[in-house]
Amino acid sequence: MFGRQGDGSVVQQNGFYVPLEACVRFIDDILYVPVRAVAEEFGIKIFWDNTTQTVYLGE
């Protein structure tokens, strides 16, 4: 669950709200989330393939 508290964005993890370094944004009714920040909060490895400009989550 994503939300905003004060000037920043938060993600709910195990019943606790964890602040994110980057903000969640709504643009033209689309929710954009900071993938790296969310993945790191949940302990998910993140990989960037610069050749294909693709983000991979997980092992």
Residue 41 has what pLDDT? 76
Q: How many angstroms separate the CA atoms of 6 and 29, rounded?
A: 21
pLDDT exceeds 70 at position 30: yes
Q: How far from 41 is each of 14, 31, 32, 34, CA to CA, in Å?
A: 11, 18, 17, 11
Confidence of residue 1 (pLDDT cuts 50, 70, 90): low
Tell whether the model's pLDDT for residue 8 goes beyond 80: no
Domain ranges in the chain?
2-57
Is the pTM value of this prediction over 0.85? no
The 8-class DSSP code of residue 1 comes to -
Asked if the model's pLDDT at residue 38 lies above 80, the reply is no
pLDDT at 52 over 70: yes
**3-state SS class at 20:** strand
Helix (H) or strand (E) holding 49: strand 46-49
23: pLDDT strictly greater than 70? yes
Pull the structure tokens for residue 34.
């900071």
